[in-house]
Structure 1
Amino acid sequence: MSKKRLDDTSKFLSYVLRHEPQAIGLQLDSEGWAGVDALIEGAARDGRQLTPELIAEVVASNDKKRFALSEDGQRIRAVQGHSSKTVSLQLAEQQPPAVLYHGTATRFMDSINENGLIPGARHHVHLSQDMTTAEAVGQRYGKVVILKIAAQDMQAQGFKFYQAENGVWLTDQVPVGFIETLL
């Protein structure tokens, strides 16, 4: 399987499983699950050829572990990053590490300094346990800025944290007072 085919399929899966399932007539349940057969049928109507084997390879090879297959291989979902209003992941609240990180671009800093971190179209703000991951995320948007988040201080003030299956930390927002700019 070519890397390009895997990458293209991963981007397509991100689009339909996180943001626009209706674009291919796909229905997600409240936890974001969709039937693999329904995904393949919807993709075919959109002119894309998917197979169960291709989908399984994308899930297994995705470096960010964005997707999960059910144990029987019949259902698939994105593990976080949803903007679809039909999905409401029921994640258990977790004790975060003392510090988490967020990678962004310098062009967003005026807004962040004024409003803190807000989820935008997504359901949650995404945070990383290490600076390397945060930097990789931030590079997608321009000149990188790494933000250090006082996660346990936030939790002590009543903010809730969740951890997705792929290790990404999620919270509803990060107020300005809990953010320190590192780079």
Structure 2
Amino acid sequence: MQVDTVKISKFLSYILRHKPESIALKLNQDGWVEIETLLAQANQHGKKLTRAVLEHIVATNDKKRFTISRDGTMIRAAQGHSSQQVNLDYSQQVPPEFLYHGTATRFLDSINQQGLIPGTRHHVHLSDDQKTAAKVGARHGKPVVLIIEAQKMAELGYHFYLSDNQVWLTKDVPIEFIKQ
């Protein structure tokens, strides 16, 4: 039997980031859930998922979207949550001088009016390199990379966090700190 790892990865992102309740799953406030519980609930809701497949997806996901606990019993999404079950307590980090945000040109009017806002997610996602930001932007249309004056923001009291998979997070980015 061939396993569609892309489809399962998307399912895991949906469950662990956005709608755990869709398979009657309860995440703790840090986004963790017992792997055995996740497997049981996924299978009960028609998603054939084994521990081996799960571990393969975690190990090979190019974006490192998932984290397995050190003791190997729990899993969570590294970042990107919109679920109200999750309230990750990241420790504040000092960002580099510049961070980057990839988006599509069709969103520029809105960004130029209100800055970067998290929308349904808990944070705005930023990367420390332009290549990654360009890939993110390309997923949404014609890409554009915005330069964020992160160090200036931090000096003025804005908080930055670094997720398990090295994505920079902040609550919002006002337009005065965005350069094109």
TM-score over 0.5 (shorter chain): yes
- Measured against aligned partners, the alpha-carbon deviations of 1:16-57 in whole angstroms (never above 9, x if no partner) come to 000000000111000000111111111112211111111111
Distance 1:135 1:145 in 2: 7
SS in 2 for 1:129: coil
Distance 1:69 1:165 in 2: 10
* CA-CA distance at 1:69 after TM superposition: 0.6
Distance 1:142 1:127 in 2: 18
Query: Partner amino acid for 2:34?
Result: G
Distance 1:72 1:51 in 2: 18
> What is the match of residue 94 of structure 2?
95
Q: What are the residue-to-residue correspondences of 1:43-122 with 2, within 5 Å? A: 43-122=42-121
Distance 1:167 1:47 in 2: 32
* CA-CA distance at 1:72 after TM superposition: 2.3
> What is the match of residue 11 of structure 2?
12
Distance 2:165 2:27 in 1: 19
Q: Percent of pairs identical after alignment?
A: 53
* 1:142 paired to 2:141: yes
Aligned residues: 180
Distance 2:71 2:109 in 1: 47
> What is the match of residue 163 of structure 2?
164
Query: Partner amino acid for 1:81?
Result: G
Unaligned runs of 5+ in 1: none
SS in 2 for 1:141: coil
Distance 2:88 2:71 in 1: 20
> What is the match of residue 126 of structure 1?
125
Distance 2:11 2:133 in 1: 23
> What is the match of residue 41 of structure 2?
42
TM-score with structure 2 length normalisation?
A: 0.97
Distance 2:157 2:74 in 1: 35
Moved more, 38-47 or 56-65: 38-47
Distance 2:151 2:40 in 1: 45
Distance 1:71 1:147 in 2: 35
TM-score with structure 1 length normalisation?
A: 0.96
